[in-house]
Every structure is written in structure tokens, then in C-alpha cells.
Amino acid sequence: MRTRTATAGEEAMQALSESLSEIRERAAAHEHSGDWNAAMEAFERLFQRGVEERDPFTVAGALRGSARVRRRLECFEEAEEIAELSFEIAQRNGLKGAAAQAVNGLAAIYHVQQDWTRAAQLYAKALDLALDAGDDSTVGHASQNLGIIANIQGRLPEARARYLESIASSVRSGDKVSAMTAYNNLGIVCTDLQEWMEAELYFNRGIEVAEQVGDSGLLAMLHANRAKPLIHVGEFAKARLVLAAAYTAAACIGDRGTLAEVEVSRATIARLHGDFAAAETHLQRAITLATEGDLEREHALALEGIAQLRWDQGRQVEALAQLGRACEIFHFVGSERDAARAEALLTGWKAEEAE
């Protein structure tokens, strides 16, 4: 039996028959799956329909989506122009919430380019606009993004306050994805502040939300991060179980970054128990995973772990060299929080060597 393919005219008629909500759903589905070309075409179609129907809300939203896709494709100049146009259209038509979302999207473009100063300025502007619009969802996103930058730059109390604000706004808006991300980030800050019980509390809450949403990627990350305060307080059996859960979730989706962090944490437990051979094995696995995934930060975390192992083995010269290299990589990738931790350890070791 022969099948007939649709003609160009029929495809055009089909496109015209789609409602705005159907085009939005199609664009969102393509964006979520990472099919950037299909997503771009869908957002362009949404833009055209918005113009045809003289719907500025739809036009502004379509432009935001198109800017996000171009940001993902690293077409940063185009993304900036489109995001700015989305803001202008929203502002001109009195769409305060859409204007706030456009500025937040513009900030994200600078964020991924590690222009922290410009990104923070725009996130702060987005936050002000969102507060004026009563847009709790965007308040949550902008607050969390400001927290991320403060965290990267080592301003932990500020990061903590921003994450708490983000959680409150995300709960009000019902944005579970934003809330669980903020719980994870807040747990990381509390870990860095050595507030172990509070850190575990936030990680646990994030895990509960991630399980409700079914987000395997963030669930794996939350489990991996939860193990760190448990290790610090000596709850090794519990930490091993948590790391096993993290490994299982990460392996299901091929998340090399989280798998590498699991191996580093397993190495820490082995080292603290004096099992240097097992620690070495876990750290070499972490190096392999980081190398395969071209993951600079995770590579540096593994080098930091190797440095700690060499120090405990009495191989101080190697330890200092490995930790120095880890510090360089942390700075290179813009992870100032990690760099500050590693440099504090390096300073302590050098002082100990000088005695």
C-alpha cells in the first residue's frame, strides 16, 4: 500500500491550524529535549503567529525562547540582541513580568560567559522588576542566580540569604524545580560554612522535592552533595549509602560529573580509614570520568583529593604540586569558592612545612 507524504502547502495549512498554546508546547518540548534547531524553528513560528495576531505577550515570550536557544548554541551576540528586543517589547506594552523574565534571560547570557559583574547587575535589575510585577517565579530565579554568583565569588553569607529568598519565592509560585535547585545550593553553602546538620537538612528537603518531580539529574547531585556533611561528622556508613544512591541515579543518565564527585567522596572515606590503595583507585576513576567528559572542575576536585592522599602518605612535595594545580584550575573555571578552600589548605600545609 502506498503512503502519501504531505505537500508543502498542506504542511503550511497544518502549521496555521496550530493554536498558540500548541506551538508553545512544541517549542518547550524541543527545548527540553535539546533539539535546538527544532526549538528555534518552533519559537520563530510562535513569534510569527504572535505578530500576526498582534499579541505582544506571545511575541516577547517567543523572543525569550529564541534567545535561550541561541545561548545554548553559544551564539551569544545574537542571543543578547534578541533578549534585549524581548525586553523592549515587553516594557513598551506594560508587560512587567515578561520584562523581568527578559532581563533575567539576558543576565544568563553574561553568566555563562563568566562575566559575573554584568550578570549580577542584570539579575538585580530582573529582581527589582519581578518584585514590582509580583512575579514570584522570576523573583525566585533571579534571587537564586544572584546567590550562585555570590557563592562562586566566595561571599557565602550573601549567597545563603539569596537562596533562602529564592526558596520562599519558589514555594509561593509552586516552582518545584527552582526550589529543589535552591535547596541544593543552600546545602552547599552550609557545607562550606561547616554547618553540617543544617546542610544535611537542606539536601534532604531537596531530595524530597526531586523525588516528587522525578528529576534524576538533580537527585543524583543532591545525594552526592549530602554525603559531604555526613563524611565530615563521621557518619561513614550513612554516607556510603547516600553515595550508592547518587551513583545509581547518575549512572542511569550518564552524568559523569556527579559520578566523578562520588568517586572523590568515596576516596575521602577510604583515606580517612587508612585504606590508601582504595582511595587511589577511586581518585583515578574520578580523573578518568572528568577527562572523558572534559570536566575541568571535577578534574580539579580529583587533584585536590590526590593531594590530600599524598599528604597523608607523607609525600609532601607531590601533595603541594597537585594542590597548586587544582587551585589553578579552580581559578580558570571561575570557581572561586573551591579555589578559596584549596588555597586555605595549601597555605596551611606550607606553614606546616616551614615549621
Residue of 70 and 9 predicted with greater confidence: 70
**pLDDT for the residue 16:** 56
pLDDT digits (tens, 9 = 90+) for 205-244: 999 999 998 888 899 999 999 999 999 999 999 999 999 9
Using H for helix, E for strand and C for coil, what is the string for 94-130?
CCHHHHHHHHHHHHHHHHHCCCHHHHHHHHHHHHHHH
Q: Evaluate if residue 131 carries a pLDDT over 90.
A: yes
Place of cell 597537585: 322
Q: Evaluate if residue 6 carries a pLDDT over 60.
A: no
Q: Evaluate if residue 335 carries a pLDDT over 90.
A: no
Q: What's the rounded Cα separation, in Å, for the pair 173 and 207?
A: 19
Decide if 136-221 and 255-355 have a common fold: yes
**pLDDT for the residue 5:** 47
Query: Which backbone phi and psi does 211 adopt, to 5 degrees?
Result: -65, -35
CATH T-level fold of 36-134: 1.25.40
Residue 6 DSSP label: P
Choose among 211, 234, 216, 152: nearest CA to 185.
152
Task: Tell me if 230 sits within 8 A of 200, measured CB to CB.
Answer: yes
pLDDT digits (tens, 9 = 90+) for 69-106: 999 999 999 999 999 999 999 999 999 999 999 999 99
Mean pLDDT rounded to a whole number for the chain: 92
**pLDDT for the residue 3:** 43
Which alpha helices (H) appear in 174-315, and where do they start and end? 176-192, 196-213, 216-232, 236-253, 256-272, 276-292, 296-312
What's the pLDDT band for 134 if we cut at 50, 70, 90? very high
Residue of 54 and 3 predicted with greater confidence: 54
pLDDT digits (tens, 9 = 90+) for 33-47: 889 999 999 999 999
- Phi-psi category of residue 335: left, alpha or beta, with phi > 0 → left and psi -120 to 50 → alpha: beta
CATH code for 136-221?
1.25.40.10
**pLDDT for the residue 303:** 98
> Which residues fall within 8 angstroms of residue 345, CB to CB, at 6 or more apart?
304, 307, 308, 323
Q: How many percent of the chain have pLDDT more than 90?
A: 84
Q: What is the mean pLDDT of residues 252-275?
A: 96
What's the pLDDT band for 344 if we cut at 50, 70, 90? very high
Q: What Rg, from alpha-carbon coordinates, does the chain have? A: 23
Which CATH architecture group holds 255-355? Answer: Alpha Horseshoe (1.25)
**pLDDT for the residue 151:** 87
In the chain, where are the structural domains located? Answer: 36-134, 136-221, 255-355
Report the alpha-carbon angle 156-161-162, nearest 5: 95
Q: Within 13 Å and on the Cβ side, how many CA atoms surround 34?
A: 0
The model scores a pTM over 0.85: no
